[in-house]
């Protein structure tokens, strides 16, 4: 199903978000990627999905997502190199009228925690929780597709400045 995706992404500071929502393990990788589009396979819990994203204007993107059999999603992930697979635990919860997704990365991206909010418009207002840090919506290295190429643990200290670490 096609939809317009408008997300704002933030680094997380502190633990004020912990204890909200239950975590779900995500494993995902990219079976195709170009400058302006990606094809992602994901296993989230016991559900497999295939997602095609096209870059749009600003932070908006077109997204097509399809549920696929879990076994097929696993087989597609198994075809990727281990370093290309993103592993994270996602916590989804509502706070002050907004739904937040906090991703705590593992493996090659261990130490990185980001929060995302989906909006109906780029300029939609929302209450920013005190555990939100720097906004990184337009910083490409924080995109999952980029983290699968250059993981967070491979960044040098100069690249990590401003991460609240």
Residues that are catalytic: 30
Put residue 54 in one of left, alpha, beta given phi > 0 → left and psi -120 to 50 → alpha.
beta
Main-chain dihedrals φ then ψ at residue 163, nearest 5 degrees: -80, 0
Cβ-contact 145, 20 below 8 angstroms: no
Cite the DSSP H helix spans in 6-121. Answer: 70-78
Secondary structure E strands in 34-152: 37-44, 47-55, 60-68, 86-95, 98-105, 113-118, 132-135
Backbone angles phi, psi at 129, to 5 degrees: -60, 155
What DSSP string describes 26-46? EEEEEEEE-SSEEEEEEEETT
């Amino acid at each position: 199903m096609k939809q317009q995706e408008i997300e704002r992404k933030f680094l997380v500071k502190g633990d004020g978000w912990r204890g909200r929502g239950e975590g779900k393990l995500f494993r995902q990788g990219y079976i195709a990627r170009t400058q302006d589009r990606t094809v992602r396979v994901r296993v989230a819990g016991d559900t497999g999905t295939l997602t095609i994203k096209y870059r749009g204007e600003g932070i908006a993107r077109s997204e097509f997502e399809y549920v696929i059999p879990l076994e097929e999603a696993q087989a597609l992930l198994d075809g990727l190199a281990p370093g290309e697979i993103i592993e994270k635990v996602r916590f989804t919860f509502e706070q002050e009228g907004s739904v937040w997704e906090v991703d705590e990365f593992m493996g090659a991206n261990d130490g990185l925690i980001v929060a995302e909010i989906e909006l109906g418009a780029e300029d939609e207002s929302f209450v920013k929780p005190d555990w939100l840090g720097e906004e990184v919506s337009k910083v490409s290295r924080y995109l999952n597709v980029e983290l699968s190429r250059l993981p967070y643990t491979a960044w040098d200290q100069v690249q990590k400045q401003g991460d609240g670490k």
